[in-house]
Amino acid sequence: MRSRGIKAGILLCASAVLGTCARPPSLLEEVVGTGELRVVTRNGPNTYFTTGEGPAGPEYDLIRGFAEYLGVRLRLMVVEHPTEVMPALTGGAAHLAAAALTVNPETAREVDFGPPFQQVTEYLVYREGRRRPRDLRQLHGKRLEVASGTTYVKTLARAQARHPELVWTENPTADQQELLTRVAQGTLDYTLVKSNAFAVYRTYIPEIRVAFNVAEGESVAWAFPKRADPSLREAAARYFEHIRSTGELGRILDHYYGQMPRIDYVGTRQYMKDVRARLPSYRALFRAAAAQYDLDWRLLAAIGYQESKWDPAAVSPTGVRGLMMLTEETAATFGVEDRTDPTQSIHGGARYFAHILAKLPRTIAEPDRTWFALAAYNIGYGHLLDARRLTRDRGGDWNRWADVRPHVRLLADPAVAAGTRHGYARGGETLYFVNNVRTYYNALAWATRDEGDAAPWQQQRSAPPAIQADLGRTKVAARTADKRRG
């Protein structure tokens, strides 16, 4: 994404940083001239966080891309509390703030906001099982608490103009997760949370529920110093225009939020119980199989949970069985003699998934490559090819999961399926499968985030020798079948 034209044009006056230009350098010239973009952010699932394989988060991915676009290195300033973000920006310590900030009139008097890249709603949340309030008037006498210095304080202040009886507490030390956890535990009645944050935390704190919307249609954007020089903000606007046109913005948001709302409350809660109760019996098997086939054991475990809830005796009405729910044909192809044996089932499922990954064209990059492989694991490789061809023929990018996903669903339309090579498929069930596996994986990755395991899309690896041999046999069998059909 690095733009040589941008950097070359700016460097014509980069000497301004050293004081040799007649005019003071613009903010953009300063950034490019020093080779460093300083960004203030906060730690959290909607902004920036670290994992065993390195930094991640939606805001991090975006600002890293912006630094690459400008051709400079990224320097992060991570503050602990929301009240520290704006002082770091207005005091000159940072060139911009990327901390899941929502545009509001009060803050706009202090800073300039860049182009919005996400729309969010602010929810009032309560604990599942308790009486749901319908509006702010029903909060009288209850404990409502938000973190001080956040937009939630401004939201409540505006609401208080309409409801003078509204009372809340501003906590100077608590963060979003702490407040949501207290609501889930019943030690706090209510708090506010943005819809994008709720989508993430809901997976790990399944007891929280949305009561009603407190503020709607809020825009998330970066903040820039309020000065006459708009150069850096205008460069950011061009960057967002670029990543919108390429689909990169949608891919980033889909990666962090696309799967979150797809799983129901009972499933999430039960899953977290099963992670503690059932997973320990099979964890070593998942790790061993993942190591053999160069996969992420947490992804294998997520597939196994979606397939069987980690039950080695599971049987479907169509005859697939075992912990990884393999068909007889798949089991025979990948060396599984007893599908109900958890060791054989997990190794067979791992080998099958690695086989699919290796078959996918090299033009498909991660993390889309993993989503494609999950879809093929569920629906079959031939049907996935049909969905990709439909995407290409209709003007979409057949290498991007976000483009192919709606065409997977179209395979269930008999009129559409009649024109495909492999015919009808229950594409809606496949999307449900992929979304749930992604959710289960994310929850497990969060629970084991200190163990240093890399996500499956962190590296592009060549197929292990055993999988290369499988691919060779598959190609020979395909050529033989073609000759027989001829």
Catalytic residue positions?
Answer: 307
Residue labelled with tokens 């819809």: 195
Number of H helices, E strands in the chain: 21, 12
* Helix pair angle (368-379, 427-447), 10° resolution: 130
118 in Cβ contact with 257 (< 8 Å): no
> Which helix (DSSP H) or strand (DSSP E) does residue 176 occupy?
helix 176-185
Among the listed residues 229, 280, 266, the one whose alpha carbon sits nearest the alpha carbon of residue 24: 229
**Do strands 118-127 and 208-220 pair parallel, antiparallel, or not at all (unpaired)?**
antiparallel
Three-state DSSP at 424 gives coil
User: What distance in Å separates the CA atoms of residue 20 and residue 473, rounded to the nearest whole number?
Assistant: 67
- Angle, vertex CA 286, rays to CA 285 and CA 292, nearest 5: 90
Phi, then psi, of 227 in degrees rounded to 5: -150, 165
Q: Cα 117 from chain centroid? A: 15
Three-state DSSP at 94 gives coil
> Which helix (DSSP H) or strand (DSSP E) does residue 470 occupy?
helix 465-485
46 in Cβ contact with 151 (< 8 Å): no
User: What distance in Å separates the CA atoms of residue 473 and residue 486, rounded to the nearest whole number?
Assistant: 20
Please, how many CA atoms are within 13 Å of residue 286, restricted to the half-sphere of its CB? 21
Among the listed residues 61, 62, 96, 90, the one whose alpha carbon sits nearest the alpha carbon of residue 77: 96
> Which helix (DSSP H) or strand (DSSP E) does residue 76 occupy?
strand 73-79
Three-state DSSP at 113 gives strand
